[in-house]
Amino acid sequence: MSGHDERATPVHQASPPALTHDVEFADVRPGEDQPWDRLEAYLREHVPGITGEFVVKQFPNGSANLTYFVSIGETQMVVRRPPFGTLAPGAHDMRREFRAVSGLSTVFDRVAKGYAFCDDHSVIGSDFLVVEYRSGVVVWDHVPASMAQFDNAGGRIGDAVVDTLADLHLVDPAAAGLGDLGRPVGFVTRQVTGWRKRWSLVDEGRVPLMAVVGDRLEAGIPAESAQVSVLHNDYKIDNCQFDPTNPDRVKTIFDWDMATIGDPLADLGTLLNYWPDPGDIDGARPLHVVGLEKMGLPSRAEIVQRYAARTGFDVSGIAWYEAFATWKTAVVLEQLYQRWVRGESTDPRMADRGQPVARMAARAEELLDRVGGAVGSAPAPRAETEGAPQ
């Protein structure tokens, strides 16, 4: 199929027989097709200079928003929309994501350019955005083969992820046109209140400890931070893309639908929640992708120290933020699981999303027990690796 007027059905290219994290694109999952003819017509009208054949694939590794690779001729794009079904208040905010990427991409080159935002639900049934596609590799559970020849590749990847978060937090929100993206005063308090409400909407009594931890988090909210930064709000290794042959610098950060401005330690706590540590034991690990613990990443204490050195921020209260991030992620997992229970998701992976919730509630409680004490024991900081980012 080719030409401007042929819009009935996109070209679906063959996918590899087995789906792994190394697969960037796949055929669209059953039940997650969109009205492609209407999407194609919209893109041809709103993205300048495109002509040629319409091809669509799906990015298969995400868990929430539906994300598609779309090409029309030589123009390659990413189209993102919320999942089907009932959405939590404020979640999957495509308008917010488009504003964040449109502003940040002008001052921070680790963000893809925004092409279009659509809130006309007659197109595909929901808000959606269109952004620049960038090629590269995402690190999921092992050092990519293209980086395997580098000394200490895993450690350098970890350092690059931390450095990029620090660099993001040093961006002046006003310079990116995002000074009013959120309300920094009272940010952490509103986060706790909002996520407790989200938990109440999905709480079916499976994990009573979640409510207990929510009470403790609210009672121990840290003092207001003087530092205001642009926050990603779901920052982790697999939301970062690298050039295949450069472990020392993140090329692109993905998934900005929860972006805001506020206390930067909220982002650092989120990263810690997804980060393995040599001292972790089975049954008490954070929610990281299996395999990351074998990559040679820096320890959690080391990344806190590196972040503090790069930003100059006070990180002494980080345990509370890590506890909140752990508990918040458990809320998200329960949301995904309940969407499956209600029949609103056709993705079979969602059937297992509820399993870690009780374990994560226990980990958040243990982290809260540390508040006021040391961040935790860890080996001495590693020496800087030759070729590390400047």
pLDDT in tens, 60-116: 876 679 999 999 999 999 999 999 887 776 779 999 999 999 999 999 999 999 999
Reduced to 3 states, what is the DSSP secondary structure of residue 242?
Answer: strand
Give the Cα separation of 237 and 271 in Å (integer).
8
Give the Cα separation of 301 and 283 in Å (integer).
20
| Whole-number pLDDT of residue 388 | 28
Lookup: tokens for 178: 């995002």
Strands (E), the chain: 54-58, 66-72, 75-81, 114-118, 128-132, 137-138, 229-231, 240-242, 250-253, 260-262
Burial class of residue 49 (count of CB atoms within 10 Å of its CB; 0-12, 13-18, 19+): exposed
DSSP class of residue 138? E
Listed in sequence order, the DSSP H helices in 170-238 are: 187-202, 209-219
Task: Name the most confidently modeled range: 81-90, 128-137, 281-290.
Answer: 128-137
Q: State how far Cα 79 lies from the chain centre.
A: 16
Q: What is the mean pLDDT of residues 46-63?
A: 90
| Whole-number pLDDT of residue 23 | 64
Reduced to 3 states, what is the DSSP secondary structure of residue 194?
Answer: helix
| Whether residue 25 has pLDDT greater than 90 | no
- Sheet strand arrangement including 75-81: 54-58, 66-72, 75-81, 128-132, 114-118
| Whether residue 268 has pLDDT greater than 60 | yes
| Whether residue 247 has pLDDT greater than 80 | yes
Give the Cα separation of 193 and 377 in Å (integer).
31
pLDDT digit string, tens, across residues 233-243: 999 999 999 99
Which of 85 and 231 is assigned the larger pLDDT? 231
What value does the mean pLDDT of the chain take?
88
| Whole-number pLDDT of residue 347 | 85
pLDDT confidence bin for 390, thresholds 50/70/90 = very low
Least confident of 118-122, 159-163, 299-303, 385-389: 385-389
Residue where the block lists tokens 């690779």: 69
Lookup: tokens for 346: 């056709």
Say if pTM beats, i.e. exceeds, 0.95: no
| Whole-number pLDDT of residue 376 | 35
| Domains of the chain with bracketed CATH | 36-133 (3.30.200.20), 138-370 (3.90.1200.10)
| Whole-number pLDDT of residue 389 | 30
What percentage of residues in the chain have a pLDDT greater than 70? 88
Phi-psi label, residue 65: left if phi above 0, alpha if psi -120 to 50, beta otherwise: beta
Q: What is the dihedral of CA 351, 352, 353, 355, to 10 degrees?
A: 130
| Whether residue 281 has pLDDT greater than 90 | no
Could you give the C-alpha distances from 307 to 59, 151, 225, 242, 300, in angstroms and in order? 31, 22, 16, 19, 11
| Whether residue 16 has pLDDT greater than 80 | no
- Among residues 139, 134, 160, the alpha carbon closest in space to that of 77 is found at 134
End-to-end CA distance of the chain: 47
SS3 content of the chain, % helix, strand, coil (to 5): 40, 10, 50
